[in-house]
Chains A and B, each alone.
Chain A
Amino acid sequence: MSLRLASRFAARELRGGLRGFRVFLACLALGVAAIAAVGTVRESIEAGLSREGAVILGGDAAIGLTYRFAEPEERAWMEARSEAVSEIVDFRSMAVVDRGGDVERGLTQVKAVDSAYPLYGEVLLDPAMPLSEALADQGAVMDRVLVDRLGLSVGEGFRLGDATFRLSAVITREPDSGAGGFGLGPRTLVRTDALEGSGLLAPGTLFETSYRMRLAPGTELAGMAAAAEAELEGAGLRWQDRRNGAPGVSEFVDRLGAFLVLVGLAGLAVGGVGVSAAVRAYLDGKTGVIATLKTLGADRATVFQTYLLQIAVLTALGIVIGLALGALVPLAFAPVIEARLPLPAAFAIYPGPLAEAALYGALTALLFTIWPLARTEDVRAAAIFRDAALNAAGWPRPVWILLTLALLGAVVGAAAVFSGLATLTLWSALGMLGAFVALIVAADLARRAARRLARARALRGRTTARLALGSVGGPGIETTSVVLSLGLGLSVLAAIGQIDANLRGAIERDLPDVAPSYFVVDIQNDQLEGFRTRLDANPAVETVESAPMLRGIITEINGRPAAETAGDHWVLQGDRGITYSAAPPEGAVVTAGEWWAEDYAGPPLVSFAAEEAEEMGLEIGDSITINVLGRDIEAQVTSFREVDFSTAGIGFILSMNPAALAGAPHTHIATIYADAAAEGAILRDLADAYPNITAIRVKDAIERVTGVLGGIAAAVTYGALATLITGGIVLIGAAAAGERARTYEAAVLKTLGATRGSILANFALRSALLGLAAGLVAIFAGGAAGWAVTTFVMSTDYVFEPVSAIAIVTGGVMLTLLAGLAFAWRPLSARPAQVLRARE
C-alpha cells in the first residue's frame, strides 16, 4: 500500500524536472560509460580474435616445435589430416648491410616460410606485389622500422648469416603477426630454402618451427587436438587451433581489460561522491516537503520509499545514458581503434559488458545514496516550524549500516568474479577504502586546521586569507565533497604515476648499471673457444660469461602431468633454457641439497632455481621430466640454488649434470660486459668473425620492453583520466552548488566594504587550499600504493618519484581553482541589493 502511495508521490515530485540532478546523472553516466566502453572494446577484440582465429594463427590448427623440424612421420601425420600444411621457421638473427666497408647491423626476428604460406589471409607489401614474387630469387621483405634503421632501399642487398638476400618490398601487413609472442626485433620474411648455406639453422641453433594446417571444413578440432596429443605424445609439441589463435594476446587483452575495469570502478567511486552530494542537497531542500508529508500522516516507510523511488528512476536514467555512451563511443571510434590495434576487432554492441557496467552502476548508486535517504527518517513533522536541515550529524540506524556493508561486499564481489583477478580486486578495494577513509580524515583535519588558522593572531588583518580559511573551516559539506572527489581521482593518477616511474626506473635506471652490453646466442661448439679468446684479448671487454644452452619443456613432475603439481606457473608455459655444468657456476649459492660430483655419470640430476621451486611446490628428491629436442629426460632434483634474473645476466631455471645432456646438439650463450663506447666495435668484430651468431644489445631490448610498458601505462592512464574527469564533474557540481552561497557572501562582503578584487582573491584562495589538501592526500595515497606494488608485486626497492607528485598537486590546485573561478563570475557581478533583498 505504502509503495503505491510512495510511487504516486514520487511521480508528482519528479514532475519538477531534473534540475539539481545534472551532476548526479553526469557522474553515474560517466562511470558506467567508462566501464561499458572498456568492456565493449575488450569483447570486440576477443570476438575479432575468435572470428579471425585461423588468419591470426595462420591455419586452422598449428603444431609448434622448439629447436627442430618435424620428423617425417610427424609431417606425414599432419599431411594425412589436412588439405594443406605450411612450415614456418622463426628465429632471431642479425641483418647486415655492407656498403663497401660501411656496415649497418640490426637485430631481426626472421620468419622463413615455404610456398604454401600464408594458408589464410594475405601479406600486404609496399610496393604491392604477391609474396611469392617478392620472395623469389633470394628476395626478402622486412618491417618498415628495420628498413629505416638499416637505411635499406628496395632492390638493395643484405646478409643474414652467410646468406645474401635482396630487399624486394616492405611489409605493411602480416596476417599472422599476432600469433607470435614478444619478438625482440622487427620482422624479416624469407623462403626457408633460401637460408641454405647461411649457417643459421645448424643443429643446436635456437629456432622454432610451426606447422600450420588447413583442415577440411567441419573438422572437429578438439578431437584432432586429442589425437595429436595421443599419437605424437612425448615429442614436446605445442598444439594450437583457431578457437584461440593468439592465446597470449587474448589473455593479455583480458587481463588489461579487467584491470581497466577496476580503474573504471575507481571512477565510479569518485562519481559516487558526487551522487551522494547531489542526493543530500536535493533532500536538504525537501525537508519542508518531508515535514509536511509527515504532518499530513505519512509514515517513515512511505517517505523513504517516495525518495528511494525517485533516486531509482534517476539511477536508471543515468545508467541508460552511460550504457548508450559506453556502447556507442567505441563503435564511433572503431576505425581509429582498429587502425591502432595490431589485432582484428569485431566492433558491435555486446550485452555482456553492458550488463556488467549496469550492475556496477546500480550497486554504486545505491551504496552512495542509502545514507542520505536514511536521513529522511530523522525529519520530524516539527521541522516545518523550524529551519532544520537534514545534514544532522550522527549515524543512521544499524540496518542501514549493515545494508551499506552488504552493498560494498556486492560491488567488490562482483568485480572479483567478473575480472577474474580476485586478489588484485580485493587489494584495490582495500586501497580505495583506505584512500576514502584517509581523505575523509584529511578533509576533517583540513577543516579543523583552517578553522584554527583563521583565528590565529598572525592572520588578523589579512582579511582575504582569513576569510578563505574561515570558509574552508566553516560548516557545510563543500570541503569534504571536494577533497574526497578530487582526492580520489588524483590518488588513482598518483598511484599509476608512482608505479610506472618505479617500474621504468627499475628497468631504465637500475638495470643498465648491472646489465651486460650484449647478450649473444647461437655460438656453435667449435666457435666458443675462438669467441672467448677474441674477447679476452680486447681491453674494452671487462667480463665474458658463457654457458651451454638447450631448450626444453617440463612435461611431468613425479610422473604426473606438471600442471597437476605446479598449476599454471610461468616456468611451465612454453619451453625454458637448460644448461649443464659439472661444478656449481661461479658465485652460485646452493640453498638446499647438494651439487653432483664433478665426475658424476649416473642417471640425470638437476639443480632447480630456489624461488621458482618453492612457488611450484618442488622438493629435493622429486623427479621432473623434461622434453629436450623431442626426447624425454627424467631427472632427479638434487639441489636448489639462487638465481637472480634482475641483472639480465645468465640465469637458468634448470641446470643438469653434463652427462645427462651429452650428445644433444646445442649452442652456447654468452654475456659480454664492456665499455659502452666500445660496444659498436665489439659487435662489428664479432659479426665479421661469426656471421651466424646473434648479438642482442641489452639496451635495445630494454627499450623495447619499456616501449611495451609505456603502452600499458598509457592505457591505464586513459582509464585513470576518466576517473579524474568524473572527479572534475563532482568538483564543478560542488562549485555550482556553492555558487548561491558565494553570491550571498559576496553581497554581504560588498556591503561591508570589500572590493571585487579582494572577494575574488578570497574565492581563489579557498579553492586552491582545497585543491592543495586533495593533492597532498593523493600523493600520500599514491605513494603508499606505489610502495605496496613495487615492494610486494615487483619485489624492487621503492623510490618516491617527485615529478609526477608535483604535477598532481599542481593539477589539483589548478583544477579546483578553475572550477572555483568559473563559478565566481556571478557572485562578483551580482548587485548586493538584489541578492540581499531576495533573502529577506
Chain B
Amino acid sequence: MADTVLSLQDARLSLDGNAGRVDILKGISLEILQGETVGLVGPSGSGKSSLLMLMGGLERATGGQITALGRDLTALGEDALARFRREHMGVVFQSFHLIPTMTALENVATPLELAGAEDAFDRAAAELAEVGLADRSDHYPSQMSGGEQQRVALARAAAPRPDILLADEPTGNLDGATGEAIMNLLFGLRDRHGATLVLVTHARELAERCDRTIRLADGQIAPDLAARAAE
C-alpha cells in the first residue's frame, strides 16, 4: 500500500471579517496517498480553495493538524513553510499569479533558483518547451494570452519536480478548448513525474479524471463521500 502524503486531522479554519468571525472549514479529516489524484469539488463558498491553501501551508489552520510528507505543517513557521514548499510542492492558481516584472523564462526559473539549482535556467527552458512555449520565453506575462500564462504557471509549478501538485481551479479563467489543453498538460506532467495531485474544480469531467473525488459543503466533507475520503 502507498504511503500517506497528506494527512488532515480535524483541520479547522476561521477568519475574522467585518461581519464577525466566519468558520470556513469546520473540522476536516482526510488522507491522501502518494501518486493519487484527488479532486476537491463542491459549491462556491464550500471551502475547497481554503482547504487547498491549508494543504499548501499558504493559510494557517486555526485548529487540528495537517501533516505533509510526515511534517506537521501547523508547527512550522512562515519561512520554514516556504522552504518546505520550495522542496516539495508546486501550486497552480486560477489567476495564474505570474510575477509581472519577470519574463516567462524568469518566472519558471524562480522556484529552481530559490531551491539553489545550478542549472535553473536550462531546466526552466526545457520546462517551457514541454508546455509548448519555447518561443515565448522572453515575453512578459502582460504580452501573453490567459492560456499561455497558465501554461507558464504549470511549467513553473512542475519545474522543481514537486512531490505534491496543488491546483486551484486551473481552468476557471480559460475557455473550454484552452482549459482542456491545460488539463491535458497538467495530467500529463503528473503522469510523467509521478507527483500527487490535488485539484480544486467545478468541472465534473475534470473531477472524473481523478482517482478520487472529495465533495465539500459548508466547510465540511459531504456525508455521502465522507467515508471514502477517510479511506
Contact = CB atoms under 8 A, between A and B. Distances in A.
Given A454-B106, A466-B113, A831-B60, A753 B95 contact: no
A100 interface: no
B66 to A, nearest CB: 13
B110 A752 contact: yes
A463 interface: yes
B79 A756 contact: yes
Given A454-B106, A461-B117, A753-B82, A475 B97 contact: no
Interface residues of A, number: 38
B123 to A, nearest CB: 11
Contact of A463 (B58, B85, B97, B110): B110
Given A474-B101, A750-B78, A833-B59, A460 B110 contact: no
B100 A475 contact: yes
B142 interface: yes
A466 B106 contact: yes
A287 to B, nearest CB: 14
A744 B142 CA distance: 16
Contacts of B59: 831, 833-834
A31 B129 CA distance: 54
B82 to A, nearest CB: 5
Contacts, number: 102
B72 to A, nearest CB: 18
Contact of B58 (A455, A741, A749, A833): A833
Interface stretch (B1-9, B86-94, B183-191): B86-94
A474 B100 contact: yes
Given A752-B86, A753-B86, A833-B53, A745 B101 contact: yes
Nearest to B118: A461
A749 B95 contact: no
Interface string B126-152: 000000000000001010000000000
B142 A755 contact: no
A754 interface: yes
A473 B111 CA distance: 20
Nearest to B156: A752
Contact of A476 (B98, B101, B110): B101
A752 B85 contact: yes
B75 interface: no
Interface residues of B, number: 40
Interface string A415-456: 000000000000000000000000000000000000000110
Nearest to B52: A833
Given A745-B99, A831-B58, A753 B93 contact: no
A813 to B, nearest CB: 21
A758 B79 CA distance: 10
B87 A753 contact: yes
B71 interface: no
B213 interface: no
Contacts of A744: 97
B102 interface: yes
Interface string A719-761: 0000000000000000000000100110111111111111000
Given A831-B59, A831-B60, A751 B114 contact: no
B97 A751 contact: yes
A462 B117 CA distance: 10
Nearest to B142: A475
Interface string A798-840: 0000000000000000000000000000000001111011011
Chain A interface mostly: helix
Interface string A571-615: 000000000000000000000000000000000000000000000
B47 interface: no
B20 interface: no
Interface string B50-78: 10010010111000000000000000001
A302 interface: no
A749 B79 CA distance: 11
Contacts of A837: 49, 53
B164 to A, nearest CB: 13
A786 interface: no
B102 A470 contact: yes
A471 interface: yes
Contacts of A475: 100-101, 140, 142
Interface in A194-240: none
A590 B225 CA distance: 112
Contacts of B86: 752-754
Among B56, B82, B87, B102, find the residue whose CB has the most chain A CB atoms closer than 10 A: B82
A455 B85 CA distance: 25
B120 A467 contact: no
Nearest to B59: A833
Given A463-B110, A832-B58, A840 B53 contact: no
Contacts of A839: 95, 97
B116 interface: yes
Contact of A750 (B82, B121, B156): B82
B87 to A, nearest CB: 7
B45 to A, nearest CB: 12
Interface string A755-775: 111100000000000000000
B83 interface: yes
B115 interface: yes
Contacts of A460: 109, 113, 120-121
B208 to A, nearest CB: 24
A754 B114 contact: yes
B102 A474 contact: yes
Contacts of B118: 461
Given A461-B120, A466-B106, A833-B59, A758 B101 contact: no
Given A463-B114, A470-B102, A475-B142, A755 B79 contact: yes
Contact of A467 (B78, B84, B94, B110): B110
A751 B56 contact: yes
B101 A753 contact: no
Contacts of A833: 50, 53, 58-59
A750 B57 CA distance: 10
A466 B97 CA distance: 19
A554 to B, nearest CB: 69
Nearest to A460: B121
A470 B60 CA distance: 31
A753 B106 contact: no
A757 B114 CA distance: 12
Given A474-B140, A745-B99, A756 B91 contact: no
A753 B94 contact: no
Interface in B143-174: 156
Contacts of A466: 106, 113
Interface in B16-33: none
A474 B102 CA distance: 7
Contacts of B99: 745, 748-749
Nearest to B98: A748
A430 B66 CA distance: 66
B101 to A, nearest CB: 3
26 contacts: A455-B106, A460-B109, A460-B120, A463-B113, A467-B102, A474-B102, A475-B140, A476-B100, A744-B97, A745-B101, A747-B97, A750-B78, A750-B85, A754-B86, A756-B82, A757-B79, A831-B58, A831-B59, A832-B58, A833-B50, A834-B59, A837-B49, A839-B97, A840-B49, A840-B93, A840-B94
Given A463-B114, A467-B102, 6 more contacts: A471-B101, A476-B101, A745-B101, A751-B97, A753-B82, A754-B86
Interface of B: 49-50, 53, 56, 58-60, 78-79, 82-87, 91, 93-95, 97-102, 106, 109-111, 113-118, 120-121, 140, 142, 156
List the 5 shortest-distance A-B pairs measured between CB atoms, nearest first: A753-B86, A474-B101, A833-B59, A833-B53, A463-B113
